[in-house]
Amino acid sequence: VASDLIELERRAQELLDPGVYGFFAGGADEEVTLAANLAAWTRLRLRPHVLRDVSSVATATTLLGQPLPTPFLVAPMAYHRLAHPDGEVATAAGAARAGVPLVASTQASVSLEDTAAAEPEAPRWFQLYVHRDRGYAAELVHRAAAGGYRALVLTVDLAAYGNRLRDVRNEFKLPSWLRIANAADRFNDDDDDPVSIASQFDPGLSPDVIGWLRELEDLPVVVKGVLRGDDAVACLDAGASAVIVSNHGGRQLDGAVATADALPEVVAAVGGRAEVYVDGGVRRGTDVLKALALGARAALVGRPVIWALATGGAEGVQAVLDGLRAELERAMMLCGTASLDALTPDLVVR
Ligand SMILES: Cc1cc2nc3c(=O)[nH]c(=O)nc-3n(C[C@H](O)[C@H](O)[C@H](O)COP(=O)(O)O)c2cc1C
């Protein structure tokens, strides 16, 4: 077992094909935002309390009204079968054992039905890219509802595909055996280029799409990829139930603000009207604690789950998520905070 998530990445890198590793690890352009996400959590300093009875600490919470043991979600990521033959089935199993909801990607390499069937009782959300083909987008929403997914995560930061220079340099192509399983060969089944696949997504979206989704099914819409307070308010006004402060793990607009830096503005603008989540560079229990102190209700974890999947399959995924929970519990004890309600902004020096 890796002692931390940074070391885990090194192990995964040894195992994976260099092109695949670059696809998972990389960001856009100079990877300024990729690095900034990590640095911004690290830069924040804590102001711990002492003498605050922490003989028992509780990480339990609710997300969109659903009780959960920890304030974590597995971030939606494409193509888990590039990391492990069982792909999203193994991720779902590991996440379920840790009690962490999986946000399944539109671009998954296992269909949303098969992922749901792997862990029927586990909480799960579905991430939606809205295709230009609105019939297909609507079909995905209906299938997600039928498959027991409890929220739609609408990703809005991919109006164009980020310029992933590692993939350009590696001439990275998807292997011919890999399928965008939800599409079931509906689009070019021999398309091996992530850039051209992404061109199927509609760059013409406006907040109206949120109302359209809510008419299709009775599922809460969580908008992912918000970095500004005014946009968060526009999403809520249009019917969203929550927003995720995210820059897509630095894979889209390079130079975009780090998520730890954007979070306070979004939390202030939302003003308690809705839940706010955050992702990007969350690697340690103290990062989660800082995120919650700054007003996030939960943090999504991305790449570390892929590294865990690649190195240890379902067990690896469970170990990483259990480990993060243990780190959060330790951080809470050392900050004198026995419950998540006690995580307030004064714990953090910005
Ligand atoms: C390999 C990879 C694939 C991704 N695929 C998707 C996707 O299909 N849909 C989506 O909304 N976000 C996707 N993301 C972004 C993640 O959901 C998340 O925002 C980001 O990875 C969080 O940052 P972290 O990896 O530093 O934890 C992807 C990220 C990675 C690394």
Angle between helices 285-293 and 32-43 (to 10 degrees): 80
Global pTM exceeds 0.85: yes
| The predicted structure's pLDDT at residue 129 | 98
Whether ligand 1 lies within 6 angstroms of the CB of 282 is answered as yes
Dig out the tokens for 23 from the structure: 């696809």
Tell the residue nearest (CA) to atom 5 of ligand 1: 77
Residue to probe by mutation, ligand 1, list 72, 115, 182, 251, most atoms within 8 Å of CB = 251
Question: 84-87 long-range CB contacts below 8 Å, 24 or more apart?
Answer: 84/309, 84/310, 84/313, 86/313, 86/314
| The predicted structure's pLDDT at residue 253 | 98
Whether ligand 1 lies within 6 angstroms of the CB of 79 is answered as no
The answer to whether the CB of 31 falls within 8 A of the CB of 247 is: no
22 pLDDT more than 60? yes
Q: What is the mean pLDDT of the chain?
A: 96
193 pLDDT more than 90? no
For 285, how many CA atoms within 13 A lie in the half-sphere containing its CB? Answer: 21
Residue to probe by mutation, ligand 1, list 140, 248, 278, 283, most atoms within 8 Å of CB = 248
Whether ligand 1 lies within 6 angstroms of the CB of 182 is answered as no
Tell the residue nearest (CA) to atom 6 of ligand 1: 77
Q: How far is the CA of 264 from the centre of ligand 1 (A)?
A: 21
Dig out the tokens for 204 from the structure: 């013409």
The answer to whether the CB of 248 falls within 8 A of the CB of 259 is: no
Q: How far is the CA of 105 from the centre of ligand 1 (A)?
A: 9
Secondary structure (3-state) at 209: helix
Locate the ligand 1 atom nearest the alpha carbon of residue 105 and give its number: 8
Note the pLDDT tens digit of each residue in 98-120.
999 999 999 999 999 999 999 99
Note the pLDDT tens digit of each residue in 275-292.
999 999 999 999 999 999
* Banded pLDDT at 188 (limits 50, 70, 90): low
* Banded pLDDT at 143 (limits 50, 70, 90): very high
